[in-house]
Structure 1
Amino acid sequence: MMLLTDGLMSFGGHTIKQALARFTGTPAKAFASGTLATAVAQSSTATTVTLIGFVSAGLVSFPQAIGVLLGASLGNTATGWIVAGLGLKVNLGFYTMPMIGLGALMKLLARGRWAGLGLALAGFGVMFAGLAALQEGMRGLASIFDLASLPVGGVRERLATMTIGLVLTALLQSSTAAIAATLTALHAQAINFDQAAALVVGAAIGTTLTGALVAIAGTVHAKRTALAYVLFNLIAGLVAIALLPVFLAAIEWLEVHVRLEAGAMSLAAFHTLFIAVGVVLLLPFAHPFARLVERLLPARGEVLTERLDHSMLAIPAVALEASQRSLEAIAAHLLALYDGMLSGADVDDTGRRLAQAGQVLDAVYDFVSRIELAAGDEAGSAQRVAQLHAIDHLLRLRTRLDELARARVDLSEPAYEWAMPNTRLILDLARQGLALADLGQQVPQIAREAQALEALSHRMRHGALAGALPGAQSPAQALTRTDAFRWLERIGGHVSRICHYLSEGRGAKQRAATRRRPPPSPA
């Protein structure tokens, strides 16, 4: 299953990730994309781990993620149908070894997506070879140890059997493998249907543990996504255990009226049925459920870096989006501090917040520098370069603001009125562009205002040093004032460059896509 999943993700993973990010506008669309992505990737874990990265980066909202998670649970039932309908009924022994050999050859000799397809083909062959061996082993095991002695009967016994399935899935790190083993045991008549049903419920709950492990050291968004997945599968599983006689009656009705084949096929239908019931119960309440999970896991820690989840480094495009949003938030934070300084905010509090901003910028720089881009990824490379330039100017801006705060310069004095019109306009334009996540239109005007501020600063510094500036009572005071003029000038320049590079980072993908388009044919 690991080979099959890795191969399918290498072959079509980019398409799957695009679908997850794009087709999640409503909970219903998110549910459909989660179901399709999981059925294609043959792994709910791959879907949920990818989704955790998307939620952390802000590409998918948390209520939308609920829909994807429900779809991942339903899509995960597809493998049971494949195993029950093909792996246990069709003898693929003649084709298994050639399939493995061809897949391995493609993995070694092909490149890119075709190498991934070869890995998936080899994984498919190995899986069916393993199923054949598992069937033989189950028949032998059944003659030595009576698997039917597993707990059966009331709710307590079902919960005990469910726990066994949960532990088995946790050890295998794959609900698909645990369900395949259960299907094989049922097909070999080593266990009865009630026991197999409880084991499948345990496997459905156990599959959430991988996502939970990934989220342990992740952001609050990652933890919320993992918790929501655990809660849904737990609710659906407990409903299935509590109403197991009702579900079994429904399966018997399907066997009689729809000619559903008893045994492994019925167990696959049971798996799909109880997950579908859970989806029907919860999908209409995706938004309230999301609010419940947010209350259970409130945001704590540094807000400016809450998007930076190191598990996203495996998906460079998503990691770059997360760092882009973090840098935009940090820029807005520093500009808000500067606005406060212009209005006479508390200097000591400003100094503490500037020190925290420095630590945050160090964390973002570490995150961006660890993003590994594929060869030939022009858009990703351009975006990362722009982000590194933005970090450089953000660090310089923080230093200038800190120097102003330490010098305890009162910017409300009349001596600094010359700088206020340009400075205020630069701040308003920059903050407006950051709020709309669209700095492109403001960048040219911000640059012009920064240049005007620089020219004014040169004249004012010359006047202060020449003794012509009113209120300059001593050379030392004149030098202090000219330092403040220079800081105001450079702050304006850094804000201009920050906006430029953040705009470059935001538009890098669109420009790369434009460069890849063929030129229009001449008329």
Structure 2
Amino acid sequence: MVDLVFKLAGGIGLFLLGMVLLTDGLKAFAGEALRRALVRFTGTPLKAFASGVAVTAIVQSSSATTVTVIGFVSAGLLTFPQAVGVVMGASLGTTGTGWIVAVLGLKVSVGFYALPLVGVGAFLKLLGRGRWRSLGVALAGLGLIFIGIETLQSGMQGLTAVVDFSKLPAANLPGHLLAMLMGVILTVLMQSSSAAVATTLTALHTGAVNFEQAASVTVGAAIGTTVTGVLATIGGTVPAKRTAVAHVAFNLVTGLVAIVLLPGLLSMIQWAQTHLELEPGALSLAAFHSTFIALGVILVLPFVDRFARAVERLLPEKGPVLTQHLDDSLLHVPAVALEATRRALAGIAAELCGRLRTALDPPARAGTDDQAAVLREALQRTEEFFARIPPVSEDAPLTASRLALVHAIDHLQRLQSRVAPAERIRQWWEREPVRTAATHGRSLLELATAGLRGAGATDWVARVEQHAAALAKLRRQERVTVLGEAAGGARPPNDAIEML
């Protein structure tokens, strides 16, 4: 009995450790490329779904994909409807683990041949450089997964001699619900639906459970994985909670559909075994798992926008709008954190330009003290967040981006001090040549405000630069004139200073 418990516990532990190492290694090895692909190919709900499937199939972890999506939504790189599509894709993509276990882990005894993978991976981690170290971690994780499956398989063979699961009800509703509850408990305890499904596949392969019991446990695992998501978002941000709610709602809908249609789904698998030569056992269970998740996607994906709006109404955004993307969870991904900072600064710049444009209208009007305080707090919060982003000196593009943001913060701080000019300064705006400069300034600020808010023409930056050049030329010309008038006594010195 002790030998049996040790093998089961060790097999599950090796599998879980392998999954963690494989996921972390692949994320580090191809993380930036995967992040760029995830943002690039999520324009529509269908593209977002496909991206979720592909990325999760690569990193072998729906949790890793979901956490990445939460960060992107927090940073404003993805809209919430796009994130919902990715989450649904992640749910389907994670079924790939079941296919790997069914096709390779159980049909071929690869545990012995996986040992060199662990050795090669360990040496790459210790002796390699850069991304090769991350690849070593991934290879070691892959090897541990197969070793864990073989150890688990050995333990399951001994389990059949101790516990006779065939005596449990299986063909009726109470039996299915009991098996589903076991799947939920198994997933919560392991904190991984992939591990729960792999354990179930191994149990089915060794004859410890029958197919109907295994199918019900798999449905329970899909529902149980939502518990992990809910626990992970306790005390989290609004985007994190929205993503968790979307994940829970989708998996619950999928699980309920699977429960209601379970007899029909089982009949469909039997038909595929007879007519499509689908191999009974673990392969059929992997097909069943993918089928009922895909069915949930078919039911929910066409209504993803309405689904997302319902979740947004349930969990409205709180806190300052200008800094809503500055989520501390982004700090461990400098590229995303810098992008979040850039977006926050763009929003602050748009508000500052809009207020300065209003101040240039006759009669000149300054913004309220409350508006000024909001902008000051937003700029200070952004500066503090930016200061906590870890530097990445070996990444030239990120270093250049960081330097550009330093300049942006400096310019916005100086612009902020000029948003509410003194009354004596405003009196000059309707006098020549200041009136001409004010006209250029209004046009420049209108273009900048619209462009920073995403509503400007494609050439708005070039047009802003034209007005800025005209203002600079006018300032150089008038500076010489004003200084000459002051030197010749035609203009009082204090008047010249205010004009300049």
Scaled to the shorter chain, the TM-score interval is: 0.7 to 0.9
Q: Report the CA distance between 1:454 and its aligned residue.
A: 4.9
SS in 1 for 2:68: helix
Number of positions where the alignment pairs a residue of Structure 1 with one of Structure 2: 474
Does structure 2 conserve the Cα–Cα contact (< 8 Å) formed by 1:430 and 1:446? no
Does structure 1 conserve the Cα–Cα contact (< 8 Å) formed by 2:351 and 2:449? no
Aligned to 1:326: 344
Listed one character per residue, the Cα deviations across residues 55-76 of structure 1 (whole Å, up to 9, x for unaligned) are 3333333333333222211111
Q: Report the CA distance between 1:210 and its aligned residue.
A: 5.0
Match 1:441 to one of 439, 462, 475: 462
Aligned in 2, Cα 1:339/1:458: closer, same or farther, shift over 3 Å? farther
Is 1:307 the equivalent of 2:325? yes
Does structure 1 conserve the Cα–Cα contact (< 8 Å) formed by 2:392 and 2:399? no
Match 1:75 to one of 78, 86, 93: 93
Q: Any unmatched runs of 5+ in structure 1?
A: 487-523
Taking the aligned partners of 1:334 and 1:164, their CA distance within structure 2 comes to 58
Q: Any unmatched runs of 5+ in structure 2?
A: 1-18
1:90-489 to structure 2, matched below 5 A, reads 90-146=108-164, 152=170, 155=173, 158-212=176-230, 215-216=233-234, 219-343=237-361, 350-401=368-419, 404=421, 411=426, 418-419=434-435, 420-434=438-452, 435=454, 436=456, 440-451=461-472, 454=475
Q: Once structures 1 and 2 are overlaid, which stretch shifts more, 274-283 or 359-368?
A: 359-368
TM-score, normalised to structure 2's length? 0.83
Listed one character per residue, the Cα deviations across residues 210-267 of structure 1 (whole Å, up to 9, x for unaligned) are 5555555555444333322221111111111122111111112122222222222221
Listed one character per residue, the Cα deviations across residues 395-440 of structure 1 (whole Å, up to 9, x for unaligned) are 23223335x4xx6779478767735324323312322332338764
Taking the aligned partners of 1:104 and 1:226, their CA distance within structure 2 comes to 35
Aligned to 2:5: none
Aligned to 2:83: 65
Aligned to 1:515: none
Amino acid at match of 2:150: A
Amino acid at match of 1:111: R
Amino acid at match of 1:447: A
Q: Report the CA distance between 1:180 and its aligned residue.
A: 1.0
Q: Once structures 1 and 2 are overlaid, which stretch shifts more, 242-251 or 222-231?
A: 222-231
1:15-30 to structure 2, matched below 5 A, reads 15-30=33-48
SS in 2 for 1:303: coil
SS in 2 for 1:305: coil
Q: Report the CA distance between 1:365 and its aligned residue.
A: 1.6
Aligned in 2, Cα 1:191/1:345: closer, same or farther, shift over 3 Å? farther
Taking the aligned partners of 1:432 and 1:264, their CA distance within structure 2 comes to 58
Aligned to 1:39: 57
SS in 1 for 2:241: helix
Taking the aligned partners of 2:322 and 2:230, their CA distance within structure 1 comes to 23
TM-score, normalised to structure 1's length? 0.80
Taking the aligned partners of 1:428 and 1:247, their CA distance within structure 2 comes to 60
Q: Report the CA distance between 1:136 and its aligned residue.
A: 2.6
Q: Once structures 1 and 2 are overlaid, which stretch shifts more, 273-282 or 181-190?
A: 181-190
Aligned to 2:12: none
Does structure 2 conserve the Cα–Cα contact (< 8 Å) formed by 1:23 and 1:29? yes
SS in 2 for 1:441: helix
Taking the aligned partners of 2:479 and 2:240, their CA distance within structure 1 comes to 48
Does structure 2 conserve the Cα–Cα contact (< 8 Å) formed by 1:31 and 1:71? yes
Taking the aligned partners of 1:154 and 1:264, their CA distance within structure 2 comes to 22
Q: Report the CA distance between 1:38 and its aligned residue.
A: 1.2
Does structure 1 conserve the Cα–Cα contact (< 8 Å) formed by 2:181 and 2:220? yes
Q: Once structures 1 and 2 are overlaid, which stretch shifts more, 146-155 or 197-206?
A: 146-155
Aligned in 2, Cα 1:423/1:262: closer, same or farther, shift over 3 Å? same
SS in 2 for 1:400: coil
Taking the aligned partners of 1:376 and 1:207, their CA distance within structure 2 comes to 38
Does structure 2 conserve the Cα–Cα contact (< 8 Å) formed by 1:218 and 1:309? no
Amino acid at match of 1:372: P
Q: Percent identity?
A: 51
